[in-house]
Structure 1
Amino acid sequence: MGSRASGRHTRRPRQTGSSAVRPPKRARTRTPRPHRHVPRAHPAGRAERHLRGLAPGARTQHGHGRRDALRLPGRPHRRCDHRHAAEPRRARLLDGDPPGPARLHPVARPRGSSTPHRLKTVLKESEAVDRPTAQPQAETLVDALLERARGSAADLPLFTALGADGEQIGQLTAAGLLERVRAVTGALRAVAAPGERVIVPALPGLDFHVAFLASLHAGLIAVPVPALHTRAQHRATVRSDRLMSIRRDCAPVAALVSTAEDAEDARHADAGPEPALAWIPVQQPAGVEAVPPAAAASDPTATALLQYTSGSTGDPRGVIVSHANLVANQRALRDRCEIDSETTVVTWLPFFHDMGLCTGVVLPLVSGAAAVSMEPATFVSDPRVWLRAIEAEDDVFAAAPDFAYDLCVQRIPEAERARIDLATWRVAANGAEPVRAATLRRFAEAFRRSFFREEVFSPGYGLAECTLSVTLGQPLFPTPVRHYDRTALAEGKAAPAAPSPDSVELVGCGTAIPGTQVCVVDPETRHPLAERVVGEIWVDAPGNCGGYWGNEAETAKVFGARIEGGIPGTEESYEGSDGGTREGSREASREASREASYVRTGDLGFLDGGELFVTGRLKDLLIIGGENYFPQDLEAVACSAHEAFAHQRAAAWPPAEERDGVAVVIETGERDPEVLAEAVRAAGIAVAKALPAPVSVFAVGRNKVSRTTSGKIRRRACAQQMAAGQLRPLAQWSSR
């Protein structure tokens, strides 16, 4: 592949039915155009292109690809020097797409039930559906790798790693990846038997991909964990404590590291009370004998990994994820987003987290897509690297938690945004933490000149106990942003309301992905609830995992839950063609729901027109005066009360000494004592107006609010740290 003068990675070649490679396109001149904003069209899915009469290689009226036709004058030319035989996805400009201010659509309908304004001429209501496509049908991840390594795409880039400046630091084809996986498998088999556990830490470059897949190839159970710092392993840190807890829980026999030197350092550092591990380097010397996959590698029912939960409401627990869970869940995500061999997944998410592992490693293998990755630290240091990697590809799926989109707005100056072209970003998934409408609006407005449109956002909901995805917004359809009465929500009812200080703004997290059923249930009676009634979210899906490792009591509580009674609104679907009675239909509904096995998520929410709205965690719920209040709602109120707290993290909890009160701690970069005093007072008064109880507000420095590895607020940990005096406030205010 050719390299660009900028030093950043080149766009990957595309697979076609022929193995021929088209030579580089000749240079062409550009005709200057008046400086004006040109609304861009979304990269079209196959079904949408068919409706428009566009072939995958269709051209714009100027004979160039869409990216060039839409480029603003003066932008640097960012096309790759070399192109492959397959043309990228293209889409023509749609007539009547106004360049007005970016906005989210507060629609009163489920996503996919109607057509956004810009696609009305090409899509019908019935076409907002999930479309299974002819894609890899392997039943395990190892089989998917073998299938790809033996197919026509064997020598095309599969995984690409970028460095701190966006330069390519590693690339693996399917054939090359399989060769390395087989070499590591041989080393693992010398120290571990099938079914034993192996620690797979976050490793640099593409070493994690090799380590994870080699563990599965050897028939072992992978245990992804954060990066190991072997030279300082015994320092009392949260990360080392978490690792020791995981080792005690699953008793691994081996751990993978990058090099032989790393393995030697780890052996010297690993002198704790736990049994010693066999430390295996991923970078094996050339000529190591390759071995075939273990029988478990092709068994869909075999356990593939233990995904330890983030621990936002307690200690991490190892979720038992089978090969079938991984494949089924990511196939459903593939079909929802129409991901195929023309798609590139661009990610910075940590691979030890379920969202990073599934979207960055599993999804490309089960969909035929390629993936481009970078270290999380690279994104945090310079979010432009992530956006430029998206710009370099033709059809992009990229997922990130809510804070990441805010970070892009904060860290990238306006002048820099105008030089970034996000026209090919088709799916911007938002999950792993509460999705805020304000974040979506800010990002869409800030990057409108970069050809980003708000319909690209696809908020979603998921959890490790269901492998990952449960719901996701239909790509290229408006995100439902709705207001509900605050008082009614406290009583457990979602009553639509006009925007006002007395209403709560919530973002819809989409409908259930294919093959998944979501039900909102009364956690006490286990009876299903009607729409717009708040209850616990239960999930029945092929991605539902097998339980918690070595914890039968918690497994019985969470997995395999049964609903008492039929699901509201489903009676009609169980009426037979023979015109069965209404009573018979209700009985069929009750019987079907009794047979279904659900995962109790512990999350609270409600359904509105089939769209899932998440309101909080059951364990975090604040019960004041007999009514329910959600901590993230109070945190949002506090952060919006003063500019010193804008776009900051906060945690709310009931202090032990005040059963009906609430404490709120908020991060801030402000240090002026007078400004801080004004800020905590404003936040305290705002929260006090939202609930009838004593309020205490504490301002702390940035990065002081405890979070999980996925960025979720650890409210209980914050309460413990505040009680122990470990969180020293910069300012405080109390209504007492």
Structure 2
Amino acid sequence: MRDRSARGLAAPPPGGQWEWEPLPAVLTGHAARCPDRPALSFVDYSRDPDGTWRTLTFAEVDQRARALAAALESRFVRGARVALLCPQGLEYGLGFLACLYAGMIAVPLFPPEDSRRIAQLTAVLADADPVCLLTDSRHADSCQDLTHRPVEVWPVDEAEPHLAPHWSQYRADPAEPAYLQYTSGSTGHPRGAVITHQNLVASTRQVIDGCGLSSDTPVASWLPLFHDMGLSIGVLAPILAGAHLALMSPLAFAQRPLRWLRLLDAHRAHFSGAPNFAYDLCVRRIPETDRDGLDLSSVRVLTNGAEPVRTGTLHRFTEAFAAGGLAPDTLKPSYGLAEATVLVACNRIGQRWTELRLDTEALAAGHVRVLNDHQAPPRLTTVVGCGRPVGQDVRVADPETRVEQPPGTVGELWVRGPNTANGYWRQPQDCAQLFDQVLKTSDGFENGWLRTGDLGFLHDGELFVLGRIKDVIIINGANHTPGDIEDTVGRAIPEAVPGAVAAFAVPGGDGEGDRLVVLVELAAGPRHAQDIGLRRRVMAAVGEHHGVRPHDILALRRGSLPRTTSGKLRRGDCRDRYLTDRFAPAAPTDTRTTP
């Protein structure tokens, strides 16, 4: 029997089903009903350490989006791709909205500010083949040479407001592409999920329902707008709900995490979100003396997503800021992916996250055996739930046979709903493998499923995510998720850079299975590996908690591990670099164990 409780369909508004309207129509409605209501604010810390606010009302946002849309319509054919290379700020949101108004396909990206990411940027631009690059005056010149052919570069901040009446009042069809959301994992093979106007509105409604948003719930965010979660929190959800957004830059947060929490306080924000590392950064970098006076009582939802959620992080952050009025159920572990537009599951308001103590050996065999407080097996694993699905269906399938699995069984997570994309831009082979899949159930065959590539299970209707299937480490026939091993090593080695441990498998010799390799960034540098007994301590911790023996343990300098644009470890790249001996400087090679 399938787990019917996993459907978790969102309740419609009091009037019944949501009525379809494209986002521009919703925004023009807000502008007509409450023109002077604040819509988008950007807090700039580049000149004033306390931040300088720029705010646009709904009428101003609508006018500027219409003006830029009219200019786009006059120059390019409807359905053309328009890339967004604006820095974090109001211009980014205006540029994205203008593309929707004009019926262009937006491509959210980032300005060419970091030389290490130019290759990724040019690869995505080559794949999307845009007709225009939208940026700001400061970055216009640096955008000129990013494409393989001449492409017009338009500064959003130079758009002429008097063009607004010339907008065609174009109304998109639900099935038309709205934007391409490029996944962050690969620079050599970029994949842009085609998000339709229906996907956009459906997913944003799910965020609004799941997080309890309305016009009276202010939103704050520092997440990069080119990322799916950042775009949802930083543009889509506030605009659709009619809420006032206060935006800041990722750099301003990284320089001083306290700025984010002070913004939540000053804006009386109801909703914000961040990856797991950001909550740990707040705990580490905000001393207790700076926490005095913070009032976080207005905050009801802080989503924790975009990377694995750690139970220790949830407890540390909640305890650290409880004195500031942060409710114990505010932190909301969640799960989503670009191919589902953004959100799949989250914990609702008033619900505290769920933790399960599992038998590690059973979990390695693909079975969920929940332990009570009195049971103490040789090894246990604690996992945190990501809440219930919001407005969509989630099942667990055997990745090989594509047969739905019963509750309590680990498998691949499959998703189906109005928010799921139909495929990747110009990638028919990848589309055929992941989108519109057929699931074999006890009732027959069901079409229209998205394969996520993520490993997890359902328990009492709640979703638990264990990691990427391609990253699973198989040793002696047992499956081990790298995130669990990395968490174990991180707890055992406080000298490691937080969140900077990578575990992956490399092929063994003839007749052998996988071998486990662990890479650790040390805050003091790899030369201290022997001084702190890194090899001995990692071997002991991994052996005790997972019953496996690492083949190799390397210490690296801070920043050595390759990551995606959203900060996730690229374990495949870690493996490739390790096998080609491209990690340096590293701990002495005597860390390698004998087979």
TM-score by shorter chain over 0.5: yes
CA distance in 1, matches of 2:213, 2:563: 32
From 513, 516, 520, the counterpart of 2:392: 516
Matched, 1:385 2:385: no
Match of 2:57? Answer: 173
Residue 341 of structure 1 and its aligned partner are, at CA, apart by 0.9
CA distance in 1, matches of 2:184, 2:547: 30
Matches within 5 A, 1:368-447: 368-447=242-321
Deviations 1:387-406 (A, max 9, x none): 01111233510111111100
Deviations 1:299-332 (A, max 9, x none): 2211000000111698331100001101101111
User: Unaligned 5+ residue runs, structure 1?
Assistant: 1-109, 114-127, 567-588
Match of 1:655? Answer: 506
One-letter code of the match for 1:227?
A: P
Contact kept? 1:183, 1:284, Cα under 8 Å? no
Residue 129 of structure 1 and its aligned partner are, at CA, apart by 7.9
Residue 294 of structure 1 and its aligned partner are, at CA, apart by 5.2
CA distance in 2, matches of 1:553, 1:457: 39
Matches within 5 A, 1:579-728: 589-590=443-444, 594-645=445-496, 647-656=498-507, 659-671=513-525, 673=528, 676-689=531-544, 690-728=546-584
Match of 1:155? Answer: 36
- Larger radius of gyration, structure 1 or 2? 1
From 84, 95, 101, the counterpart of 1:200: 84
Distance 1:302 1:377, change over 3 A: same
One-letter code of the match for 1:256?
A: L
What secondary structure sits across from 1:435 in the alignment?
coil
Residue 167 of structure 1 and its aligned partner are, at CA, apart by 2.1
Contact kept? 1:546, 1:559, Cα under 8 Å? yes
Distance 1:343 1:137, change over 3 A: farther
Contact kept? 2:120, 2:188, Cα under 8 Å? no
One-letter code of the match for 1:470?
A: V
CA distance in 2, matches of 1:684, 1:294: 66
Deviations 1:400-447 (A, max 9, x none): 111110000000001111221111111111111111100000001111
From 226, 233, 245, the counterpart of 1:359: 233
One-letter code of the match for 1:146?
A: T
Matched, 1:542 2:400: no
What secondary structure sits across from 1:654 in the alignment?
strand
One-letter code of the match for 1:660?
A: D
Residue 529 of structure 1 and its aligned partner are, at CA, apart by 0.8
One-letter code of the match for 1:670?
A: A
Residue 642 of structure 1 and its aligned partner are, at CA, apart by 2.3
Deviates more, 1:616-625 or 1:406-415: 616-625
Contact kept? 2:412, 2:452, Cα under 8 Å? yes
Contact kept? 2:63, 2:161, Cα under 8 Å? no
Matches within 5 A, 1:72-83: none
What secondary structure sits across from 2:437 in the alignment?
coil
Residue 166 of structure 1 and its aligned partner are, at CA, apart by 4.4
Contact kept? 1:534, 1:605, Cα under 8 Å? yes
Distance 1:503 1:327, change over 3 A: same
What secondary structure sits across from 2:232 in the alignment?
helix
One-letter code of the match for 2:231?
A: L
Contact kept? 1:676, 1:699, Cα under 8 Å? no
Contact kept? 1:313, 1:716, Cα under 8 Å? no
Residue 657 of structure 1 and its aligned partner are, at CA, apart by 5.1
Matched, 1:339 2:213: yes
CA distance in 2, matches of 1:468, 1:481: 23
Residue 295 of structure 1 and its aligned partner are, at CA, apart by 6.9
What secondary structure sits across from 2:181 in the alignment?
strand
One-letter code of the match for 1:631?
A: P
Contact kept? 1:516, 1:541, Cα under 8 Å? yes
Distance 1:595 1:531, change over 3 A: closer
CA distance in 1, matches of 2:86, 2:407: 41
Distance 1:691 1:137, change over 3 A: same
CA distance in 2, matches of 1:433, 1:499: 29
Match of 1:552? Answer: 428
One-letter code of the match for 2:396?
A: V
Distance 1:474 1:499, change over 3 A: farther
Match of 2:143? Answer: 266
Matched, 1:289 2:163: yes
Matched, 1:144 2:20: no
What secondary structure sits across from 2:464 in the alignment?
strand
CA distance in 2, matches of 1:645, 1:463: 29
Residue 454 of structure 1 and its aligned partner are, at CA, apart by 2.1
Contact kept? 2:199, 2:341, Cα under 8 Å? yes
One-letter code of the match for 2:257?
A: P
CA distance in 1, matches of 2:378, 2:356: 14
Deviates more, 1:333-342 or 1:348-357: 333-342
One-letter code of the match for 1:174?
A: F
Contact kept? 1:516, 1:539, Cα under 8 Å? yes
One-letter code of the match for 1:655?
A: V
Contact kept? 1:184, 1:284, Cα under 8 Å? no
CA distance in 1, matches of 2:529, 2:118: 39
Contact kept? 2:86, 2:136, Cα under 8 Å? no
| TM-score (ref. length: structure 1) | 0.74
Match of 2:592? Answer: 734
Distance 1:656 1:210, change over 3 A: same
Residue 681 of structure 1 and its aligned partner are, at CA, apart by 2.4
| Alignment RMSD | 2.5
> Which structure has greater strand proportion?
2
Distance 1:676 1:476, change over 3 A: farther
User: Unaligned 5+ residue runs, structure 2?
Assistant: none
What secondary structure sits across from 1:213 in the alignment?
helix
CA distance in 2, matches of 1:552, 1:199: 22
CA distance in 2, matches of 1:320, 1:130: 27
Distance 1:330 1:360, change over 3 A: same
Matches within 5 A, 1:302-313: 302-311=176-185
One-letter code of the match for 1:318?
A: G
CA distance in 1, matches of 2:339, 2:271: 23
Residue 484 of structure 1 and its aligned partner are, at CA, apart by 0.5
Matches within 5 A, 1:188-227: 188-227=72-111
Residue 643 of structure 1 and its aligned partner are, at CA, apart by 2.1
What secondary structure sits across from 1:410 in the alignment?
helix
Contact kept? 1:538, 1:599, Cα under 8 Å? yes
What secondary structure sits across from 1:148 in the alignment?
helix
What secondary structure sits across from 1:619 in the alignment?
helix
What secondary structure sits across from 2:273 in the alignment?
strand
